[in-house]
Amino acid sequence: MDPPSPMKPRKNRYRIETKSISYCVTNAPSRQAAILKNVTCNAPPGQLVAIVGPSGAGKTTLLSILAGAIHPCNVSGAILVNGSPMEVSRFRRISGHVTQDDALFPLLTPEESLLYSARLRLKATKSEAANRVHELIDELGLSHVAGSTISGGNGGISGGERRRVSIGVDMVHDPAVLLLDEPTSGLDSVSALQIIKMLKCMASSQGKTIVLTIHQPGYRILELIDQIILICDGMVRHQGSIVSMESRLVKLGHVIPTHVNVLEFAMDTMSGSKIFELEENVGKKHETQISRQADHDQVLYANSHVGEVLILSERFFKNVLRTRQLFMARMVQSILAGIGLGTIFMNVMNIQARLGFFAFSLTFLLSSTTEGLPVYLQEKRILQRETSRGAYRVSSYVIANALVFLPFLLAGALLYTVPVYWLVGLRTELDRFLYFCLVVWMVMLMANSFVACFSAIVPNFIMGNSVIAGLMGSFFLFSGYFISKDNIPKYWIFMHYLSLFKYPFEAFVLNEYGGEKGRGECLEMEPSGCVITGGMFVKQYGLRETQRWSNIWVMLGFIVGYRVLCFIFLWFKCKKMRR
């Protein structure tokens, strides 16, 4: 990979320091574990600083504190930026924090990923954002794969290139400070060296403050690192260059074997010893405490609410179109189900068979929408990361997500309804057909909102699928089809009114047997004459003609209600992550 093109040095440079910080987590109601203990270190601008240590030493925790991901109010000691206490909301605007796991859309290209990030985070026009992305692609050495998809399949990009895209997503706003957690994790030695060379060039030529964690760097990587913060058991044992570390080891009487990595030797010999504690900290303990004044954590967004919705809708629309397993399978499933059910119930006039058709249709429509759960869960990780960086509002994401699914679900509803309605032989009036289409569409939207809501709560697909399937089964049970409303115990009656099956099922019944023509239709004939008419059946079922449209409003209320709950759950999670 060619080194990034040189850029002008920064006017604003930032030095990050910690003064005797300690951080504890609660393991049990009355027990706390100290993750960091009296840590003092610094990261100057224009240098590449690496936090190194064995697994569980506290590297990622220290980096998270330096990045403001762990809020300073939860840490004892002082965190300073250019000598002043860190203001998290301001620091996040001038910094980029790249976590260890890559949260990227696999079906977008590197150029698209960077462009959407730029449009969301920069106060710039679309052309200005595109120019910034082209500069960044050249700087990251991604020009040759800019149009390839990020996914690791055929035609995808490599692990090292994917890592550079993750770094680029947090560099679109040209941060003065860049903090990276294990940027070489999972990469081969060549790719890892390329990443470190790129970061070294950024630090030296642009004056950026770059801090990274790394587990066990090789010799060639160590040569590129300006300063090493060696940490073990939550304490800093050394900060300085690899040369200063080697000289201190020699002064302490250690003999370093030839061709042995100095850092590995230091990590092996420091076990159970404090000989590498910073010299200026020995015998000292800073009592400085960071101000506990409330940080309102104000976020300044680059776009208006409408602008965010448009950008997110475009990105989500592109993702859904490219998810062939979701989009095409859904369309084919709707057509086949419509034709299949239509041929099974073709011209069946028996009332029980007709009700069975309505019930099975709802079962198919409501249960088949759980396929969107993996998409929502993947998006949730990216949402939490992007909103924590102030890229956009949670409400914009929820609105954009809902808008994008409207045309997709409408297409699915029409592909199902057109064959099944006429094959089954339902009422031939155009308004009844259109009403049936509307109900099917509303059912799909209800189920989609329901899945979106619970995807905001559940941690993974297995639990989400179990919860959603269980609730769908309960809704079907209390819909009034298996057991009438009058026979449902009073302590379970609330489930009848919460059932997603109840309102569309009643709408189907009223659409078929309501109105003047439906009331006069004979549903059961005996030698003595007509025993049950459509009007008698509707009345026996406890339905009124006015419910035909009131049920539509109730279904719309469910759609909006579940989206509002989705927003509340996601907002709470993102707020908690930001704090």
Per-residue pLDDT reduced to its tens digit, 441-477: 999 999 999 999 999 998 888 888 888 888 888 888 8
Report whether 14 contacts 81 (CB < 8 A): yes
Write the pLDDT tens digit of every residue in 329-341: 788 889 999 999 9
The model's confidence at residue 370, banded by pLDDT at 50, 70 and 90, is confident
Structural tokens at position 185: 């994790």
The model's confidence at residue 519, banded by pLDDT at 50, 70 and 90, is low
What's the mean pLDDT in 207-214?
92
Write the pLDDT tens digit of every residue in 28-78: 565 778 888 899 999 999 999 999 988 888 888 999 888 888 878 888 889
Cα–Cα distance, 506 to 481 (Å, whole number): 10
What's the mean pLDDT in 6-25?
78
What's the mean pLDDT in 293-299?
51
Task: Give the pLDDT of residue 399.
Answer: 95
Sign of the Cα pseudo-torsion (186, 190, 194, 197, in order):
positive
Does the structure show a pLDDT above 80 at 144? yes
Instruction: State phi, psi for 240 to the nearest 5 degrees.
Output: 155, -170
Instruction: Give the H/E segment covering residue 25.
Output: strand 16-28
Task: Give the pLDDT of residue 115.
Answer: 94
Cα–Cα distance, 100 to 92 (Å, whole number): 18
Sign of the Cα pseudo-torsion (180, 182, 187, 191, in order):
positive
Return the closest-CA partner of residue 204 out of 66, 1, 4, 52: 4
What's the mean pLDDT in 393-414?
92
Report whether 52 contacts 240 (CB < 8 A): no
Residue 109's Cβ-side half-sphere holds a number of Cα atoms within 13 Å equal to 13
Q: Which residue has better confidence, 496 or 283?
A: 496
| pTM confidence score | 0.82
Does the structure show a pLDDT above 90 at 534? no
Task: Give the pLDDT of residue 139.
Answer: 85
Q: Which residue has better confidence, 194 or 523?
A: 194
Report whether 159 contacts 350 (CB < 8 A): no
Report whether 543 contacts 431 (CB < 8 A): no
Give the strand pairing for 209-214 and 48-52.
parallel
Report whether 120 contacts 302 (CB < 8 A): yes
What's the mean pLDDT in 369-378?
78
Does the structure show a pLDDT above 70 at 271? no
Cα–Cα distance, 431 to 429 (Å, whole number): 6
Task: Give the pLDDT of residue 244.
Answer: 86
Structural tokens at position 142: 């991604």
Cα–Cα distance, 200 to 196 (Å, whole number): 6
Report CA-CA distances (Å) from 522 to 207, 515, 517, 525.
85, 14, 10, 7
Does the structure show a pLDDT above 60 at 237? yes
Q: DSSP letter string over 379-431?
A: HHHHHHHHHHTTSS-HHHHHHHHHHHHHHHHHHHHHHHHHHHHHHHT----HH
Task: Give the pLDDT of residue 461.
Answer: 86
Cα–Cα distance, 157 to 185 (Å, whole number): 16
Cα–Cα distance, 203 to 50 (Å, whole number): 12
Does the structure show a pLDDT above 60 at 291? no
Find all residues with CB under 8 Å of 413, minimum gap 6, and list them: 334, 437, 440, 441, 444
Task: Give the pLDDT of residue 533.
Answer: 60
Q: Which residue shows structure tokens 């509303």?
A: 442
Q: DSSP letter string over 491-559?
A: GGHHHHHH-TTHHHHHHHHHHHH-HHHHHH-EEEEETTEEEEEHHHHHHHTT--TTHHHHHHHHHHHHH
Cα–Cα distance, 48 to 227 (Å, whole number): 7
Report whether 439 contacts 511 (CB < 8 A): yes
The model's confidence at residue 243, banded by pLDDT at 50, 70 and 90, is confident
CA dihedral 467, 470, 472, 477 (to 10 degrees): -160
Q: DSSP letter string over 292-314?
A: ----------SS-HHHHHHHHHH
Cα–Cα distance, 29 to 383 (Å, whole number): 31
60 SS3 class: helix
What's the mean pLDDT in 176-191?
87
What's the mean pLDDT in 487-492?
88
Structural tokens at position 425: 């032989």
Range list of β-strands (E), 60-208: 76-81, 84-85, 95-98, 177-181
DSSP state of 76: E
Does the structure show a pLDDT above 60 at 297? no
Question: Which residue(s) pair with 437 in the sheet?
Answer: none
DSSP state of 122: S
Exposure string for 279-315, b = 16+ CB within 10 A, e = fewer? eebeeeeeeeebeeeebeeebebbbeeeebbbbbbeb
Task: Give the pLDDT of residue 1.
Answer: 47
Does the structure show a pLDDT above 70 at 293? no
Write the pLDDT tens digit of every residue in 147-162: 888 876 556 788 888 8
The model's confidence at residue 290, banded by pLDDT at 50, 70 and 90, is very low
Q: Which residue has better confidence, 532 or 405?
A: 405
CA-based end-to-end distance of the chain: 38
Report whether 349 contacts 540 (CB < 8 A): no
Q: Which residue shows structure tokens 């954002």?
A: 129
Write the pLDDT tens digit of every residue in 95-132: 888 888 778 888 899 999 999 999 998 888 889 999 99
286 SS3 class: coil
Task: Give the pLDDT of residue 158.
Answer: 84
The model's confidence at residue 211, banded by pLDDT at 50, 70 and 90, is very high
Q: Which residue shows structure tokens 């400070």?
A: 177
Cα–Cα distance, 452 to 563 (Å, whole number): 7
The model's confidence at residue 294, banded by pLDDT at 50, 70 and 90, is very low
Return the closest-CA partner of residue 317 out of 564, 116, 110: 116
